[in-house]
Amino acid sequence: EPEVTQTPSHQVTQMGQEVILRCVPISNHLYFYWYRQILGQKVEFLVSFYNNEISEKSEIFDDQFSVERPDGSNFTLKIRSTKLEDSAMYFCASSFSGRGTDTQYFGPGTRLTVL
């Protein structure tokens, strides 16, 4: 069964550094998402992406964040200048259709630790 994959599984970085988290969505899916989960808390929406454009973003997704689909398979989340409070698990997800009416499949996550 196809799965969403993410790399790296764990990223440690110094405050102020840039990080790029990578995701490979399921191949026939058209909608891509990033969520984050601070330890012990709920899953929070960051951004959704379709047809090379952001469909929706949350207030968490400020100017320090950006997303890109650099080629036909990868979907990336960049944090330009990391802060301590960016430490969290970041999940990529994908779905065939959007508008929240289709199942979203989650990747295994990248644990980001900002020191």
Residues that bind other proteins (CB under 8 A): 31, 33, 35, 41-45, 48, 50, 55-56, 58, 91, 98-109
- Measured from the CB of residue 16, what is the shortest distance to other proteins in angstroms? 27
CB nearer to other proteins: pick between 14 and 103: 103
CB of 34 to other proteins, least distance (A): 10
> Whole-number minimum distance, CB 14 to other proteins, in Å?
24
Closer to other proteins by CB, 65 or 106: give it. Answer: 106
Between 2 and 16, whose beta carbon lies closer to other proteins?
2
Task: Indicate the residue among 30 and 81 with the shorter CB distance to other proteins.
Answer: 30
The CA distance from 61 to 54, in Å, is: 11
52: alpha, beta or left, given left = phi > 0 and alpha = psi -120 to 50? left
| Minimum distance, C-beta of residue 10 to other proteins, in the bound complex (Å) | 10
Q: What is the dihedral of CA 28, 108, 9, 98, to 10 degrees?
A: 40
Give the Cα separation of 40 and 88 in Å (integer).
10
With b meaning 16 or more CB within 10 Å and e meaning fewer, what string describes 93-111? bbbeebeeeeebbebebbb
